[in-house]
Homo-oligomer: A and B are copies of this chain.
């Protein structure tokens, strides 16, 4: 069945039928606007992301279910990075007319399953026809007590820089997808990222975090955002970057020992700050976006408390550096030398 047979309002009704009621939603899908009842004493956190076919996703790389799931996950990740609980979301979708109804059914199933997992209710949005590719816009809302909201701007010199999980996986997964690989750990990290909602909320409620961001543009660029907003600098120790065994294997480090490889293969690189191409496990881990891990700062001495919080949600956490009184992010290679990355991160309007 094609969407043209169902029609715009038929599609909206079909979506609406699968959305559960929520006490905070006074009026959901089907009016000019949704009416939401804010929780007294809490602030509303709101974020919006667009995902465009050919820019953010390739339909030959993923099934509709996973695309729907990811489209919500990247927005939930932004809510989590504020230390807030997701509550509601809106979906805008521009669909080519020849999209089969099954595509939308799969897309919505993935999105609504993920929404249910994290307590977010679909309350409205927009559906329209696209003359180009598929375009998706998600707006997510969360709530938190104002004093617990975690901004990018609170980092202070001496704070430790932490990151959850591992980094570089999603970027490596994207490279694998372009090379024809369609499954495995790295590909799953790219296509189906996990928003760190429980962790973000637990960290906020523990009151130990001074600044937080999610890793969407790459560790280096996202840490740069924290530094800029906090009026501080940072020193990052590459040896402490959490890299998955899959990522290391992808980089050719089958012994899972980047430090050994650095020492073995990086004689020239150690001097220039650049390892030979294909042998540097840090470049992609620093610049690669879309891991959707949490990057955050804590006062020195709070490591064990943070480790306990992350352990309680079964998520590894690593201290990777320190906030400094300077500006910009300084990188220290495993041998103690200064490291210059080949690229810093993703800019949508950049040349490459």
Contacting residues, chain B, for A311 (C-beta < 8 A): none
Contacting residues, chain B, for A49 (C-beta < 8 A): 92, 126
On whether the beta carbons of A33 and B52 are closer than 8 Å, the reply is no
Q: Which residue of B lies closest to A44 (CB)?
A: B36
Q: Which residue of B lies closest to A92 (CB)?
A: B50
- The reply on A239 being an interface residue by CB < 8 A is no
On whether the beta carbons of B27 and A347 are closer than 8 Å, the reply is no
Which A residues from 115 to 140 make CB contacts under 8 A with B?
123-133, 135, 137, 139-140
Chain A interface size, under 10 / 10 to 19 / 20 to 34 / 35 or more:
35 or more
Given A31-B152, A146-B35; A46-B229 close (CB under 8 Å) = no
- The reply on A209 being an interface residue by CB < 8 A is no
On whether the beta carbons of B35 and A350 are closer than 8 Å, the reply is no
Instruction: Provide the A71-85 mask, 1 if CB < 8 A to any CB of B, else 0.
Output: 000000011011010
Minimum distance in angstroms from A131 CB to a CB of chain B: 5
Which A residues from 306 to 348 make CB contacts under 8 A with B?
347-348
Contacting residues, chain B, for A3 (C-beta < 8 A): 349
- The reply on A163 being an interface residue by CB < 8 A is no
Given A8-B349, A84-B33, A126-B49; A55-B94 close (CB under 8 Å) = yes
Given A3-B349, A55-B128; A38-B38 close (CB under 8 Å) = yes
On whether the beta carbons of A30 and B229 are closer than 8 Å, the reply is yes
On whether the beta carbons of A349 and B4 are closer than 8 Å, the reply is yes
On whether the beta carbons of B129 and A349 are closer than 8 Å, the reply is yes
On whether the beta carbons of B139 and A48 are closer than 8 Å, the reply is yes
- The answer, among B47, B92, B146, B213, for a CB contact under 8 Å with A48, is B92
Contacting residues, chain B, for A126 (C-beta < 8 A): 48-50
Minimum distance in angstroms from A43 CB to a CB of chain B: 5
Q: Which residue of B lies closest to A137 (CB)?
A: B137
- The reply on A285 being an interface residue by CB < 8 A is no
- In the assembled complex, the Cα of A4 lies from the Cα of B43 at a distance in Å of 36
Which A residues from 249 to 298 make CB contacts under 8 A with B?
none
Minimum distance in angstroms from A81 CB to a CB of chain B: 4
Contacting residues, chain B, for A40 (C-beta < 8 A): 40
Contacting residues, chain B, for A50 (C-beta < 8 A): 92-94, 126, 128, 135, 137
23 contacts between A and B (CB under 8 A): A4-B349, A6-B349, A7-B350, A8-B347, A8-B349, A26-B146, A31-B82, A32-B81, A32-B212, A33-B47, A33-B79, A33-B84, A33-B142, A34-B47, A36-B43, A44-B44, A46-B141, A48-B139, A50-B137, A52-B130, A52-B132, A56-B128, A90-B139
Known contacts A32-B82, A34-B45, A55-B130; can you find 15 more A-B pairs with CB under 8 A?
A31-B229, A33-B78, A33-B142, A35-B146, A36-B44, A37-B44, A38-B44, A40-B40, A47-B90, A48-B124, A50-B135, A52-B131, A55-B94, A55-B131, A132-B133
Residues of A within 8 A of B (CB): 3-4, 6-9, 11, 26-27, 30-38, 40, 43-50, 52, 54-56, 78-79, 81-82, 84, 88, 90, 92-95, 97, 123-133, 135, 137, 139-142, 146, 149, 151-153, 212-214, 229, 347-351
